[in-house]
A and B are shown apart, each in its own frame.
Chain A
Amino acid sequence: GAVVSQHPSWVICKSGTSVKIECRSLDFQATTMFWYRQFPKQSLMLMATSNEGSKATYEQGVEKDKFLINHASLTLSTLTVTSAHPEDSSFYICSAPGQGLAYEQYFGPGTRLTVT
């Protein structure tokens, strides 16, 4: 089946620095990708919808200047957490819809971000 990868799988950064997370669709093209954030023992909260060739659509309450999303190609979307703080520590998951069937939604393995 289709595969979505994320890199890195985990990252530790210092407060105030920026970190970039990549989401790639490995064997299919994705004009749309979704970015979720999951705090421990909580659900996945949609942060934004990444659209290839256009601006991302952010959910209410998500700071677009802090969480920069770029969808530069049909197989790559990136999420950059700028000026990270400890409260940004979380599990970030991307997903992409499949090519046709309504139930197809492929998730990356997630990136665990720890800000010290």
Chain B
Amino acid sequence: AQKITQTQPGMFVQEKEAVTLDCTYDTSDPSYGLFWYKQPSSGEMIFLIYQGSYDQQNATEGRYSLNFQKARKSANLVISASQLGDSAMYFCAMREAVSLSSKIIFGSGTRLSIRP
């Protein structure tokens, strides 16, 4: 069965510093996708970045990059030059057997707080 683990319940980071949010996963399916979402206090789910299991390069989207270590089954999110608006809950998620109907499960989340 698929499983996502986020071991950092909360993190405090100084504004403009880089931060790494940890995520490990477990699956027996060779085809899977990994997501990171941001959830501010409003509750909306904001898509940040995606990594497919067969993607050769680590995904990047602006200030977000995904450090994909396939052998270690880790998919850490790196946020460069953090901003006050980055304060939110961050969820790592995974979809097995990449197809439109396959479900996405979420890790427990990390609450990131940016200090001015």
Contacts and interface: CB of A to CB of B under 8 A. Distances in A.
A43 B108 contact: yes
A5 B30 CA distance: 33
A115 B48 CA distance: 33
Chain B interface size, as a band, is 20 to 34
B98 A95 contact: no
A77 interface: no
Interface string A20-42: 00000000000110101010001
B35 A105 contact: yes
Majority secondary structure, A binding face: strand
Chain A interface size, as a band, is 20 to 34
Interface of A: 31-32, 34, 36, 38, 42-46, 49, 51, 91, 93, 95, 97-99, 102-103, 105, 107, 109-110, 112
Given A46-B103, A46-B106, 20 more contacts: A31-B101, A32-B101, A36-B106, A42-B109, A44-B45, A44-B91, A45-B106, A95-B45, A95-B104, A97-B101, A102-B50, A102-B52, A102-B95, A102-B98, A103-B35, A103-B47, A105-B95, A107-B44, A107-B45, A110-B44
Interface of B: 33, 35, 43-45, 47, 50, 52, 91, 95, 98, 100-101, 103-109
23 contacts: A32-B100, A34-B103, A38-B43, A43-B91, A43-B106, A43-B107, A44-B45, A44-B91, A45-B106, A46-B103, A51-B101, A93-B43, A95-B104, A97-B100, A99-B100, A105-B47, A105-B95, A105-B104, A107-B44, A107-B45, A109-B43, A110-B43, A110-B44
